[in-house]
Structure 1
Amino acid sequence: MNAIVPFQFEDQAVRVTDCDGQPWFVLADACALLGIRNPSDAASRLDETEKARLNLGSGSDATIVSLAGLLTLMLRCRGAMKPGTVPYRVRKWITAEVVPTIMRTGGYGTAAPVDPAKLDNHALRALLLGKVDDVIALQPKADALDRIANAEGSLCITDAAKALGVPPRRLFAWMEAHGWIYRRTNDGPWKATQAKIETRVIEAKVHRQVQRFGPDKLREQVLVTPKGLTHLAEKKAGV
């Protein structure tokens, strides 16, 4: 990872470092920006791939989070979905400024810009292909956040399909094929797989169904979490 670089958001500085052309944000700064009071608790709810430790020098370390980790934190802030709030403006900043900056420069660090006029044909072609790869890798993350901006809390799979703009039957089929949900019998109810529950992309809620005759029944419903909705959007599930 490269050195920490302060990046200004309105009147607050957010420290950012570059790792292989991807931005990683100092968690404490991100939490302060989003109004999250407990950074340690926020970090515990992220995947291991979404967080890391960075030596800041002078014997001090800091937790940093990837762009995907930052998006997950934002989706857990109700204000991120309400125009005019700070978390909402942070979301717009990420999708309208941070991601496009990476797409234009190939990174988010302090490396000197490359002058295409000084490159030979082979080097210029390699540079352009690299930019295309950056766009392909990063654009789904920005699209994912904007597509689910109006979704709040966990959603049933049918509502998740609506939020993603895909047919429900295709989303059910994709989630079954990729090990998110399963059925014990062909016409039985959908159930959440334990592996996906543990990664917090889906959850299983049990509710009581009142029967007119006989005892009430307990029904399990699979819900897609905000984190899961982000993953589904990035994977273009059901498209």
Structure 2
Amino acid sequence: MTTADTGAIKVMVADDQEIARTGLRMILDAQPGIEVIAEAGDGLRAVELARRLRPDVCLFDIRMPRCDGIEATARLAGPDVADPMAVVVITTFDLDEYVYAALRAGARGFLLKDAGPDLLSQAVRAAANGDALIAPSITARLLAAFAGTGPAPPQAQPIEALTDREEQILLAVARGRTNNEIADELHISLSTVKSHVASLMTKIGVRNRVEVAMWAFETKRVAR
């Protein structure tokens, strides 16, 4: 069951700047079906509140005192977390060099600090429904810039060879296409796209679309 079936998407915002938290709250609370239920000014408080309140989506700044956004993300959504939460990271592309680490820590997506209301709400809705925002103008650009800056992936090739269709899906995800856009481009049903994406993630050993895109860049299937 998705959050769309149970009411408003509950969001927690964590940023060490009060003006930034206030701005994010105002933007999100103005969106239909989204409600900010908590704020935190540092990473440790964010982790504590998230574990207690279980919001549908955590929106984290990377640079926070006591525990930065990367560590907070790892504690809530990392590979060793039994019941990972949905985390979207907000960063400044020109200054922040920790995006790759945030994605490796389990972030389901990320935005630039100057993202507008539409993109912000899209990212929250995508994360709440088990998807990830892979915007061609933002996410693919960042993935291309940061792919390869961290340790090599533990498994460079898939467990089982990808089918031609799965290779098409892989490239589309890496380029920021949503499931609906992929369905339209490939002239297949939405359920078929979802089935291919699930199979693809199993074969390459990743958990979400952000990691699918990263894997595509790391294995040179998408040129930088």
What band does the TM-score fall into relative to the shorter chain? under 0.3
Q: Which of 1 and 2 has greater Rg?
A: 1
Structure having the higher strand fraction is: 1
TM-score, normalised by the number of residues in structure 1: 0.25
